[in-house]
Amino acid sequence: MSTMHELTPATTRALQLFEPDPRTAYTIEMTAQLVDVPRHSILLYCKHGLVSPVVDPACGGYFFNDEAIRVLRRVEYLRTSCGVNLAGIKMILELMNKVERLESEVSFLRQIAAL
């Protein structure tokens, strides 16, 4: 009796992450599916200012773009894998945005200095 398992094509396929289209606005239901987060959690994250819809909810519902989906994935990772509460997540996201902005400024200044 062999202890090796035969691999079928289904078991050898690599998981492909979905990369949202930057030109598309996704409904809250589709966003919930893409991020694998309940709809009510997304609404809670909006209420706490962690993510913003691209369309004013008063004008026809909640719609999210590719950047919002990335933020929601980051929020879920920090909440579930790291155990960070919503206030801590908000601080982390703000700090990450500042770091990205500062990195862009440093890159720009280096380009100017190289001229």
Confidence of residue 2 (pLDDT cuts 50, 70, 90): very low
Tell me the C-alpha distance between 23 and 89, whole Å: 27
pLDDT in tens, 8-42: 455 445 545 667 777 889 999 999 999 999 999 99
pLDDT at site 43? 96
- The DSSP output letter for 85 is -
Question: What's CA 25's distance to the chain center, in Å?
Answer: 14
CATH of domain 20-114: 1.10.1660.10
What are the residue boundaries of the structural domains of the chain, listed by start? 20-114
pLDDT in tens, 89-109: 999 999 999 999 999 999 999
Of 107, 76, 106, which is closest to residue 92 (Cα–Cα)? 76
DSSP string, 19-75: ---TT--EEHHHHHHHHT--HHHHHHHHHTTS---SS-GGGTS-EE-HHHHHHHHHH
Tell me the C-alpha distance between 24 and 45, whole Å: 21
Question: What's CA 87's distance to the chain center, in Å?
Answer: 17
Task: Say what the pTM is.
Answer: 0.75
